[in-house]
Amino acid sequence: MTATAPVADTRALGLAHYAARGVLEHFLARHGLTFQQQITLRAAVAADTPWTPDDLVARVRDDLKADPADVRAALGALLERRLLVVDGAHLRPTEAGRELTAAVGAESAPVTARIWGGIPAEDLAAAGRVLALVTERADAELAALTA
């Protein structure tokens, strides 16, 4: 009997997402962060220029397809913990926010390496192209549904 590879579909994508997210949430829990808070903080830390609160909320809402009120709550929690601070019209990550992002990355890196390690580069490239296309099409469908 020959085993065949599963076909990539919505279920396979969802299972992979939730498996990887479960791993990340294990590390986030150690630091009292939620997934949405981490995505928000990471966006602020990785930004080339500071975000306004509204722009950061819009970015995370678009990335996660999340309710803006939930994103604002995540942002509020980050401000309360002083992982982000308001600087005029913009938000800036604090040193504590940068350190927390780095710590989560360092703690999860060995597990991430085991998950992704050994996958041939051409398979990763093909998966990347497919995922980008699925994201583009799903975003277009969602925009049409909510227009």
Query: What pTM value is reported for the model?
Result: 0.89
Domain ranges of the chain: 20-110
pLDDT higher at 125 or 5: 125
Q: Please write the tens of the pLDDT for every residue from 47-87.
A: 999 999 999 999 999 999 999 999 999 999 999 999 999 99
Q: Give CA–CA dist 10/146, Å, rounded.
A: 20
Query: CA torsion, points 29, 35, 39, 41, in degrees to nearest 10?
Result: -40
Whether the per-residue pLDDT at 99 is higher than 70: the answer is yes
Predicted confidence at residue 79, as pLDDT, reads 98
| CATH 1.10.10.10 fits domain 20-110 | yes
Mean pLDDT, to the nearest integer, of 24-53? Answer: 97
Q: Give CA–CA dist 65/67, Å, rounded.
A: 7
Predicted confidence at residue 3, as pLDDT, reads 67
